[in-house]
Structure 1
Amino acid sequence: MTELKERAARMKARLDEALQPETLTIRDDSKRHAKHAGRNGIKGDETHFTLTIVSAQFDGLNRVARHRLVNGLLKPEFETGLHALSLTLSTPGEA
């Protein structure tokens, strides 16, 4: 596995602490979106990610609530250049 860059490492630490996931996969998809019209002048890497998380913390939460939880945990990253997340979120029983 490759070493995580700065934003990805911060996201991993925050998600590990809050969700205690059984599985947490972070993939940087920024290069695929380099000419994406919605970037609005955002420069650099680590703007687009795909996250796969399996956590018991999602028990009893519907899909929207799970997404809100993760987006809320990563709010500081959105405020500093994170542009988009693609999320696959499940409980251990669903995985």
Structure 2
Amino acid sequence: MIQDRITKKLYQAFAPVHLEVINESYMHNVPAGSESHFKVVIVSAQFDGQRLIGRHRAVNTVLADELANHIHALAIHTYTDSEWQAQQAQAPTSPACRGGSKLG
């Protein structure tokens, strides 16, 4: 499973205090059971002092194979522990798909 591979890689690379890897493929016009659209919420001390673009690049580097070969879309939400607490431990809700959504 792609979702399991993403989870394992991110745990190994970032030692997160919080990690969510959410398969959002069902929100898109893809076959049932697809693993093509994901949302990652990751809280790690490794992001301390890092700008958002650097955090995203780090995640993209870890998941380079998946992005090149398996994943169509990846929403990335990266936080330090203090940022996560300020967000009240909530990541933004993903918007509805605009390119053939099954949600009507």
TM-score, length-scaled by structure 1? 0.81
The 3-state SS of whatever aligns with 1:18 is: helix
Tell me the residue number matched to 2:93: none
Q: Distance in 2 between matches of 1:84 and 1:63?
A: 18
Aligned-pair Cα RMSD in Å: 1.8
Aligned to 1:57: 46
Q: CA deviation at 1:81?
A: 1.6
Structure 1 gaps of 5+ residues are 1-5, 36-43
In structure 1, C-alpha distance between the alignment counterparts of 2:72 and 2:46, rounded to whole Å: 25
Residue 68 of structure 1 is matched in structure 2 by: 57
Partner of 2:81, secondary structure, is: coil
Q: Which amino acid aligns with 2:27?
A: R
In 2, Cα distance between the equivalents of 1:83 and 1:57? 26
Distance 2:29 2:15 in 1: 32
Count of residues in Structure 1 that have an aligned counterpart in Structure 2? 84
Give structure 2 stretches of 5+ with no counterpart: 85-104
Structure 1 residue 33 corresponds to structure 2 residue 62: no
Deviations 1:23-61 (A, max 9, x none): 0011101121226xxxxxxxx611101111100011111
**Does 2:86 align with 1:91?**
no
Q: CA deviation at 1:16?
A: 0.2
Displacement of 1:83: 1.0
* Residues in 2 aligned to 1:71 and 1:52: alpha-carbon distance in whole angstroms: 13
